[in-house]
């Protein structure tokens, strides 16, 4: 039977713990390495794939036009690390130097860090990792008549664009990638979530959570699904926590954000609390 990749344990506070890592394949290794450094055995089951857009997709053509008009925007908001990576590739094709006077902003510290790697200093909220937190930024308060560009994927919440439009801004959304459920064999899914008991699951988005539940129901029996729903589930926000409880998960652990350190830190805190 084909198994999803696992990593061997090293001594540490997570020794004996079998942790399911669900980030897309190109983003999973760092989280897995950090968990392994804490002693965990990691199981990789990507619950999302990131599919960059390209010509002749009409959405890509729109994104390209937005990038060509980059100097016309008051602010450019980057939704995710994937959007940062793909937008920089596109911007480099048309802007040897970034236009001045544009306020660069990011959802979350990880996205801001990715932009910083490319020489862009982007504001991000230190009080949260979501649209509501970023909407408190001074640059987004008086925006009536100003143009704002949102660089994003094909799915997700519309809170940011809706609120900025309500404040009178002219909002363009440039879609750079599509997110999809990976095509995984039944053997891979079974070996990852049912073959051996999981100690915890790390989920970073509502879409990943939905895909996990769908895949679990697709290949598992009722007894296995009940056991899965008993497994501690680490989530990055109150919104995803609510979705997890609605899906039937009994032990939902709320992290302070979706970055690897916050997710793993929440798991370590839970384990420390159980030892007391």
**How much of the chain, in percent, has pLDDT values that exceed 90?**
77
Of the residues 163, 179, 195, the one at which a domain ends: 179
Q: What is residue 108's predicted lDDT score, i.e. its pLDDT?
A: 87
* Contacts by 210-216, CB closer than 8 A, 24 or more apart: 210/243, 210/247, 211/47, 211/48, 211/181, 212/22, 212/47, 213/247, 214/181, 215/47, 215/181, 215/184, 215/189, 216/189
What average pLDDT does this structure show over 146-163? 92
* pLDDT over 60 (residue 6): no
- Pair of tokens at residue 95: 């802007």
- Pair of tokens at residue 240: 């995803």
Q: Is the peptide bond before 56 cis (omega within 30 degrees of 0)?
A: yes
Do 55 and 174 have their domain in common?
A: yes
Task: Give 109-126 pLDDT, tens digit per residue.
Answer: 889 999 999 999 999 988
Domain that holds residue 189: 18-48+184-275
Cβ-contact 46, 25 below 8 angstroms? yes
Cβ-contact 136, 127 below 8 angstroms? yes
Do 207 and 173 have their domain in common?
A: no
Torsional class of 193: left (φ above 0), alpha (ψ -120 to 50), beta (otherwise): alpha
- CATH number of domain containing 212: 3.40.50.10090
* pLDDT over 90 (residue 273): no
Confidence of residue 129 (pLDDT cuts 50, 70, 90): confident
Do 163 and 227 have their domain in common?
A: no
Q: What is residue 220's predicted lDDT score, i.e. its pLDDT?
A: 76
Q: What is residue 2's predicted lDDT score, i.e. its pLDDT?
A: 44
Q: What is residue 201's predicted lDDT score, i.e. its pLDDT?
A: 98
* pLDDT over 70 (residue 89): yes
- The structural domain count of the chain equals 2
Does some domain include residue 4? Answer: no
* pLDDT over 80 (residue 91): yes
Q: What is residue 126's predicted lDDT score, i.e. its pLDDT?
A: 80
Torsional class of 144: left (φ above 0), alpha (ψ -120 to 50), beta (otherwise): beta
Do 116 and 152 have their domain in common?
A: yes
Do 236 and 248 have their domain in common?
A: yes
Do 158 and 223 have their domain in common?
A: no
Do 101 and 163 have their domain in common?
A: yes
Of the residues 179, 204, 227, the one at which a domain ends: 179
Task: Give 208-262 pLDDT, tens digit per residue.
Answer: 999 999 999 988 778 888 999 999 999 999 999 999 999 999 999 999 988 999 9
Q: How many CB atoms lie within 10 A of CB 265?
A: 15
Between the alpha carbon of residue 219 and those of residues 136, 185, 244, the distances in Å are 44, 10, 19
Task: Give 36-69 pLDDT, tens digit per residue.
Answer: 999 999 999 999 999 999 989 999 999 999 999 9
Of the residues 158, 179, 200, the one at which a domain ends: 179
């Amino acid at each position: 039977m084909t198994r999803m990749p696992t990593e061997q344990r090293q001594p540490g506070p997570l020794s004996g713990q079998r942790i399911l890592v669900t980030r897309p394949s190109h983003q999973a290794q760092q989280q897995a390495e950090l968990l392994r450094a804490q002693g965990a055995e990691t199981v990789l089951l990507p619950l999302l794939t990131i599919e960059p857009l390209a010509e002749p997709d009409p959405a890509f053509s729109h994104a390209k036009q937005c990038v060509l008009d980059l100097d016309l925007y008051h602010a450019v908001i980057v939704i995710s690390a994937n959007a940062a990576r793909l937008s920089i590739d596109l911007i480099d094709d048309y802007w040897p130097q970034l236009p001045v006077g544009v306020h660069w902003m990011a959802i979350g510290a990880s996205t801001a860090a990715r932009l910083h790697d490319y020489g862009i200093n982007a504001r991000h909220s230190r009080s949260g990792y979501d649209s509501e937190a970023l909407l408190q930024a001074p640059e987004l308060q008086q925006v009536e008549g100003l143009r704002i560009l949102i660089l994003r994927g094909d799915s997700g919440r519309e809170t940011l664009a809706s609120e900025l439009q309500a404040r009178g801004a002219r909002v363009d959304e440039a879609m750079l990638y599509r997110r999809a459920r990976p095509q995984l064999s039944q053997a891979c899914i079974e070996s990852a979530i049912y073959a051996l008991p999981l100690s915890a699951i790390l989920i970073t988005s509502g879409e990943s959570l939905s895909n996990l539940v769908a895949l679990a129901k697709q290949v598992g029996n009722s007894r296995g699904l009940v056991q899965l729903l008993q497994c501690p589930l680490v989530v990055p926000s109150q919104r995803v926590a609510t979705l997890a409880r609605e899906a039937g998960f009994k032990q939902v652990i709320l992290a302070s954000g979706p970055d690897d350190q916050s997710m793993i830190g929440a798991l370590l805190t839970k384990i420390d609390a159980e030892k007391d």
